[in-house]
Amino acid sequence: MITQQIPHATTISALRTRVRSWRDDRLSVGFVPTMGALHDGHISLVRLAKAQCDRVVTSIFVNPKQFAPGEDLDAYPRTLMDDAEKLTDAKCDLIYLPTPEIMYPEGYSAGVTLKGPALGLESAARPHFFDGVATVVAKLFNQVRPDMAFFGEKDYQQLLVIRQLVKDLDIPVEILAGETGRDRDGLALSSRNAYLDADQRRRAGQLNVILKEFAAALEAGTGHKAAREIAYTAASETFDSVDYIEARCAATLAEPGDGPITQPARVLAAVRLGSTRLIDNRAAKPPA
């Protein structure tokens, strides 16, 4: 049980009662969905939401549907007291803490399936992942019914998947993106960074350097194939394995072809250090 510092709701009806009272007062509602283990990246999304909306709900729910058997569902860090303190400091108005039984009661059988931006990249290694994310996010949107919802650019493919989801399912919520929070060496903040030992943590800091160089090469007019090969070699030398490192169209995630990019792109990567999987991405503008 969390302290009384910050109001929290553990049922859909308690959540709706609170949100309805705000609506009665004509207040706008922002929503930040999370799986907890909050870091500065999450908190900057809460602050962004506070700047845009009158009231902010943050959900903490480690969603079993986005983990495959053998992934880190049980080991995923759960730091509720610490999270509640950070959310209190960030002036979040309500924490929503549904249980797995509330989200997926016995007999639960619905699910969202996706194509479009969900294909490839993350889905190659984690084919279950985006269906699980889209299912829980659609449910959370229906439960909270926010005006705006906030997602980090670190999970860039997830951001595009959610944008497509609300468009395709006519969910009346505006999706806003927050910039990736980074440590001093540029490592993208992630709850899973807590799994890294000292040597892995040092190597992890290279991911953003390799992506920055990849983006700079594309912006200088190097062809995608050549720039990608250099980035892939650097990543293979640094990490235990590379799931992918490539450039994609920033708007659709379509593959850009082998030559110089002609539209705004995103360089994206997923690599592994031991059992920890790191992802990151950077923007790349087409050469002038």
Nearest Cα residue to 162 out of 181, 137, 143, 127: 137
Site for ligand PAF in 8-37 (CB under 6 A): 33-35
114, two tokens? 């996706």
Contacts of residue 248, Cβ cutoff 8 Å, sequence gap at least 6: 121, 254, 255, 256, 265, 266, 268
Least Å distance, CB 60 to ligand PAF, is 9
Of 39, 42, 128, 224, the active-site residue reads 42
Cβ of 75: how many Cβ atoms within 10 Å? 10
Q: What tokens appear for 248 in the block?
A: 């994609």
Find the shortest distance in angstroms from Cβ 142 to ligand PAF.
14
Determine the straight-line distance between the first and last CA of the chain, rounded to whole angstroms.
56
Q: Rounded to whole angstroms, how far apart are CA atoms 277 and 113?
A: 24
Which tokens go with 100? 């797995």
Residue among 155, 219, 243, 246 that touches ligand PAF (CB under 6 A): 155
> What are the φ and ψ backbone dihedral angles of 104, each rounded to 5 degrees?
-130, 70
Rule CB under 6 A: is residue 63 a binding residue for ligand PAF? yes
Q: Yes or no: say if 247 and 287 are a contact pair by the CB < 8 Å rule.
A: no
Handedness of CA 83, 111, 14, 168 (dihedral sign): positive
Rounded least distance, CB 220 to ligand PAF, Å: 33
Q: Considering beta carbons, is residue 23 or 192 the nearer one to ligand PAF?
A: 192
Question: Is residue 128 annotated as part of the catalytic site, yes or no?
Answer: no
Q: Does 200 interact with ligand PAF (rule: CB under 6 A)?
A: no
Interface mask toward ligand PAF for 108-137; x: CB under 6 A: -------------------------x--xx
Looking at residues 246 to 275 of the shown chain, list those that interact with ligand PAF (rule: CB under 6 A): none
By beta-carbon proximity to ligand PAF, the closer residue of 147 and 213 is: 147
Q: Of 133 and 160, which CB lies nearer to ligand PAF in the complex structure?
A: 133
Rounded to a whole number of angstroms, the minimum distance from the CB of residue 233 to ligand PAF is: 30
Q: Helices 129-144 & 12-24, crossing angle to 10 degrees?
A: 50
Q: Could you say whether residue 193 binds ligand PAF (CB under 6 A)?
A: no
Structure tokens at 149: 């919802």
Which is nearer to ligand PAF, 33 or 256 (by Cβ)? 33
| The residue to which tokens 């924490």 are assigned | 95
Question: Residues touching ligand PAF: how many (CB under 6 A)?
Answer: 10
Nearest residue (CB) to ligand PAF, 53 versus 162: 162
What amino acid positions are annotated as catalytic residues? 42
For ligand PAF, the binding residues (CB under 6 A) are 33-35, 63, 66, 133, 136-137, 155, 158
